[in-house]
Amino acid sequence: MTDLRRRRILTASALGGVALAMPAVARAQETVSWRMQALWDGGTTPYEFEKNFVARVAELTDGKFDIKLFSAGQLVPAAQAFDAVRSGAFQMMKTFDGYEAGKIPSFAFTSTIPFGFPDPDQYEAWFYELGGLDMAREAYAKAGLTYIAPTVYGEEPMHSTVKIESIADMAGKKGRFVGLASAVMGDLGVAVTPMATAEVYSGLEKGLIDFADRGDLTANYEAGLAEVAKFIILPGVHQPTTATSYVANTAAFGALPDSFKAALAVAAREISGSLRQRIIVQNTEILDKYREKGVEVLQLDPADISAARGKAVESWKKATKGDPLATKIVDSQVAFMQSLGLI
């Protein structure tokens, strides 16, 4: 074989190898496009941070992972988002696990724990340091979805038309609570009244309820609760810390390159801390506005809360409904609270 012919054969082989490799390279460089429905309405502080989240994911992937963000209800009604993501109608949602706790008991404890962790850093530590992430992922895997990460922040307040200065003062009062909080508050003697979020203002105004959970301090101020409830009760023991969650369609998530999966996790953790810090600052500013409208801010005694926490443990255990994973989660959280001296 001549040298010239040998060179031609080698060149052809090399070019063929490049041709075979090019489609894989091209695929690796393609942009992935997802749609995500947020838990929040457009224009709210949490929604602005979801915009930061999708921008950060794009930045971490050199613009190759494009997530188009939609506000609450823009793609499907909020109550249908769980099934819509599972079916692949869109790829990701921001949700509050507690909405589905009636079907999946574990979700009651990966969203908020009434009388539980008083500091959101403690709750986030449970997720990232004590296996909470893995347990949340196990719970979602059984539902055919993939849990990515939580956004953890602080309390939601209680707004009241009557002066409540202790846990005992709540007994016999009519209160609006939802999810696990309704069970725990009921066990503490509150006459719990189910009521949609949109009905809280009129419920307080008409005396249908004496006090209520609704949302964060800023959202409640914007909804006019300062006009109908002249007391704010802090801390919000029914929801002392909150975790919302990024959840993806399992097939869509599985198809992502590892670097894109990592980008989701990194961006989620960054947003968790940055939103929490914004809310801390925002709460101090909005409380001044409540006071200007004549609202009195009442602070519950930490010793009173601690005593009630001990009673709430039994309510938590009942809420597991004997589910093995939910029981494992509660046992893990209780052990951590004991190590922190909370129980």
Confidence of residue 44 (pLDDT cuts 50, 70, 90): confident
Q: Is the pLDDT at 128 greater than 90, yes or no?
A: yes
Instruction: Tell me, letter by letter, the H, E, C secondary structure of the chain.
Output: CCHHHHHHHHHHHHHHHHHHHHHHHHHHHCCEEEEEECCCCCCCHHHHHHHHHHHHHHHHCCCCEEEEEECCCCCCCHHHHHHHHHHCCCCEEEECHHHHCCCCHHHHCCCCCCCCCCCHHHHHHHHHHCCHHHHHHHHHHHCCEEEEEEEEECCCCEEECCCCCCHHHHCCCEEECCHHHHHHHHHCCCEECCCCHHHHHHHHHHCCCCEEECCCHHHHHHCCHHHHCCEEEECCCCCCCEEEEEEEEHHHHHCCCHHHHHHHHHHHHHHHHHHHHHHHHHHHHHHHHHHHCCCEEEECCHHHHHHHHHHHHHHHHHHCCCCHHHHHHHHHHHHHHHHCCCC
Closest CA to 193 of 105, 232, 185: 185
Q: How, if at all, do strands 191-192 and 32-37 pair? A: unpaired
Which residue type sits at 117? F
**The residue to which tokens 């609006």 are assigned:** 176
Q: Is the pLDDT at 3 greater than 50, yes or no?
A: no
Neighbours of 29 (CB within 10 A): 9
What mean pLDDT value characterizes the chain?
91
Are 308 and 234 part of one and the same domain?
yes
Phi-psi region of 179 (alpha: psi -120 to 50; beta: other; left: phi over 0): left
Question: What is the arithmetic mean of pLDDT over 236-258?
Answer: 96
Closest CA to 150 of 22, 247, 259, 215: 247
C-alpha distances out from residue 65 to 56, 149, 215, 241, Å: 10, 18, 32, 31
What tokens appear for 168 in the block?
Answer: 């005992």
Are 62 and 138 part of one and the same domain?
yes
Are 70 and 84 part of one and the same domain?
yes
Question: What is the arithmetic mean of pLDDT over 198-218?
Answer: 94
Confidence of residue 40 (pLDDT cuts 50, 70, 90): confident
**Domain annotation covers residue 257:** yes
Q: Determine contact, residues 68/34, Cβ cutoff 8 Å.
A: yes
**Domain annotation covers residue 301:** yes
Are 97 and 179 part of one and the same domain?
no
Are 259 and 321 part of one and the same domain?
no
Q: What angle do CA 110, 197, 41 make, to 5 degrees?
A: 75
**Domain annotation covers residue 333:** yes
Question: What is the arithmetic mean of pLDDT over 235-242?
Answer: 95
Neighbours of 46 (CB within 10 A): 22
Where in the sequence is the domain holding 104, given as residue range(s)?
30-154+241-281
Q: How far apart are CA 107 and CA 122, in angstroms?
A: 18
**Domain annotation covers residue 121:** yes
**Domain annotation covers residue 45:** yes
Are 130 and 203 part of one and the same domain?
no
Are 326 and 196 part of one and the same domain?
yes
For helices 324-339 and 132-142, the axis angle rounded to 10 degrees is 160
Q: What is the pLDDT of residues 300-330, one digit of tens each?
A: 999 999 999 999 999 999 999 999 999 999 9
34 - beta bridge partners?
Answer: 67
**Domain annotation covers residue 20:** no
CATH code for the domain in which residue 139 is found = 3.40.190.170
**Domain annotation covers residue 99:** yes
Q: Is the pLDDT at 8 greater than 80, yes or no?
A: no
Confidence of residue 29 (pLDDT cuts 50, 70, 90): low
Q: What is the pLDDT of residues 155-170, one digit of tens each?
A: 999 999 999 999 999 9
Are 124 and 269 part of one and the same domain?
yes
Q: What is the pLDDT of residue 13?
A: 39
**Domain annotation covers residue 215:** yes
Q: How far apart are CA 282 and CA 332, in angstroms?
A: 32
Neighbours of 230 (CB within 10 A): 17
Question: What is the arithmetic mean of pLDDT over 33-62?
Answer: 95
Q: What is the pLDDT of residue 9?
A: 40
Burial 30-42 (b: 16+ CB within 10 A, else e): eeeebbbbbbbee
Closest CA to 244 of 87, 37, 32, 67: 37
Q: What is the pLDDT of residue 75?
A: 97
Are 213 and 77 part of one and the same domain?
no
Are 314 and 263 part of one and the same domain?
no
- How many domains, in total, are found in the chain? 2
Q: What is the pLDDT of residue 99?
A: 86
Are 206 and 121 part of one and the same domain?
no
Q: Is the pLDDT at 210 greater than 80, yes or no?
A: yes
Are 236 and 246 part of one and the same domain?
no
